């Protein structure tokens, strides 16, 4: 395989920009972008715009038209070679007469997994694999994890004060972060498949856990309840038409309470947090958001179940003995502290948003 040229690198950068436009609209499919290059000029571009719709290659080839014959197709993910919601992209590439295909990374989805490259090469199309691979895998991390582990990508989000409190001693937490930060959280809710809280957060805050305004996705609201009965009067199951509710319980959860809440459309599942993630993965959920509280976060971090953190830090001090974001067993030595990669900082009208991925979190895809 030939070494990539700067034209390939620049074209792949554009394809990755296009791919990101599909976030929230295409899952459980991957975000994919594609450009068609002829004589160093982009003559067609496209991305996977919605689940069940045409793939990026088809859109880019349609935009390029006759100019695609003999051109180079640059795509962020290996073209599919199987029939799913749409016909195989390999067939479209060959029908268009493309001479060369540049691919960021192969697709580990079992029905592809190198088959797209083999089919193209067998037809005489030159393939270059690995251009922009690190960037593509970062973008595709939630999809890759779902395919390779069967579990969704887990984002832990909290808001805290400068002294690391998520509420006062009395339990008051509304509001730590500002209005702009809360709007950002609603945007995040609007692109995930599930929003998860612990029973303590449900009791203390009585949240609805919807995105306002609505986003690209309509998340399932999930409560991890343990063995204690949940309150019957909560917005989560008394608000009509705002989406499904799933409660994960311990085996000893009171049957009478479950029967009552089931009449309000609540689905019950006996599962640990890890088993819950397995079930959400079976339901093809790609991204899930956990919004607390400290006990739930502690368990998830202790068990290595979190992939990414969004921490909103407000310029406020509470003092006292209010709760911190993460409970659990924690670590005894600083050298064992969890560390992050790809850390970013963003100022949001006085608040500071710090985002990062757990270094031990896998980056995978379907």
Catalytic residue IDs:
57
214 assigned binding-site residue:
no
Give the whole-angstrom CA distance, residue 111 versus residue 41. 33
Cis peptide preceding 360, ω within 30 of 0:
no
122 assigned binding-site residue:
no
291 assigned binding-site residue:
yes
Place of tokens 């963003």: 346
100 assigned binding-site residue:
no
205 assigned binding-site residue:
yes
For residue 298, what are the CA distances in angstroms to 76, 302, 346? 36, 6, 25
Buried b (16+ CB within 10 A) or exposed e, 81-115: beeeeeebbbebbbebebebbbbbbbbbbeebeeb
173 assigned binding-site residue:
yes
Give the whole-angstrom CA distance, residue 31 versus residue 48. 6
61 assigned binding-site residue:
no
For the record, the structure tokens of 277 come out as 């993630």
Give one DSSP letter per residue of 344-360, joined into a string: EEEEETTEEEEEEEETT
The burial of 150, by beta-carbon neighbours within 10 Å (0-12 exposed, 13-18 middle, 19 or more buried), is given as middle
For the record, the structure tokens of 223 come out as 């409560």
163 assigned binding-site residue:
no
Q: Is the Cβ–Cβ distance between 98 and 37 less than 8 Å?
A: no
Nearest Cα to Cα of residue 290 among 154, 184, 97: 154
82 assigned binding-site residue:
no
69 assigned binding-site residue:
no
| Feature table: binding site for NADP(+) | 159, 175, 201, 205
| Feature table: binding site for substrate | 173, 189, 209, 212, 291
| Feature table: binding site for Zn(2+) | 55, 80, 89
| Feature table: binding site | 55, 80, 89, 159, 173, 175, 189, 201, 205, 209, 212, 291
């Amino acid at each position: 395989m030939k070494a990539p040229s700067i034209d390939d690198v620049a074209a792949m950068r554009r394809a990755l920009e296009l791919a990101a436009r599909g976030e929230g609209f295409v899952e459980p499919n991957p975000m994919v972008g594609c450009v068609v290059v002829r004589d160093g000029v982009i003559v067609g571009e496209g991305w996977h715009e919605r689940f069940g719709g045409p793939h990026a290659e088809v859109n880019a080839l349609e935009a390029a038209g006759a100019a695609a014959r003999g051109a180079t197709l640059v795509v962020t993910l290996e073209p599919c070679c199987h029939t799913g919601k749409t016909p195989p992209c390999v067939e479209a590439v060959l029908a268009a007469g493309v001479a060369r295909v540049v691919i960021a990374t192969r697709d580990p989805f079992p029905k592809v997994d190198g088959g797209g490259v083999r089919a193209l090469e067998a037809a005489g199309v030159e393939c270059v694999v690995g251009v922009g691979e690190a960037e593509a895998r970062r973008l595709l991390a939630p999809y890759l994890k779902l395919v390779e582990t069967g579990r969704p990508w887990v984002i832990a989000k909290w808001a805290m004060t400068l002294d690391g409190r998520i509420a006062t001693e009395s339990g008051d937490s509304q509001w730590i972060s500002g209005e702009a930060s809360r709007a950002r959280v609603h945007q995040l809710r609007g692109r995930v498949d599930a929003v998860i809280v612990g029973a303590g957060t449900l009791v203390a805050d009585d949240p609805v856990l919807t995105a306002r305004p609505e986003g690209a996705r309509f998340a399932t609201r999930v409560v991890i309840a343990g063995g204690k009965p949940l309150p019957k009067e909560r917005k989560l199951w008394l608000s009509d038409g705002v989406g499904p509710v799933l409660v994960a319980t311990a085996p000893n959860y009171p049957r009478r309470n479950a029967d009552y809440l089931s009449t309000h459309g609540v689905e019950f599942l006996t599962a640990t947090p890890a088993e819950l993630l397995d079930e959400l993965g079976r339901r093809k959920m790609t991204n899930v958001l956990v919004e607390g509280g400290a006990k739930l976060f502690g368990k998830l971090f202790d068990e290595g179940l979190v992939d990414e953190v969004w921490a909103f830090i407000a310029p406020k001090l509470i003092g006292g003995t209010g709760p911190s974001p993460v409970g659990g067993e924690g670590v005894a030595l600083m050298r064992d502290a969890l560390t992050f990669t790809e850390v970013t900082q963003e100022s949001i009208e006085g608040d500071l948003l710090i985002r990062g991925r757990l270094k031990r979190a896998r980056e995978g895809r379907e």
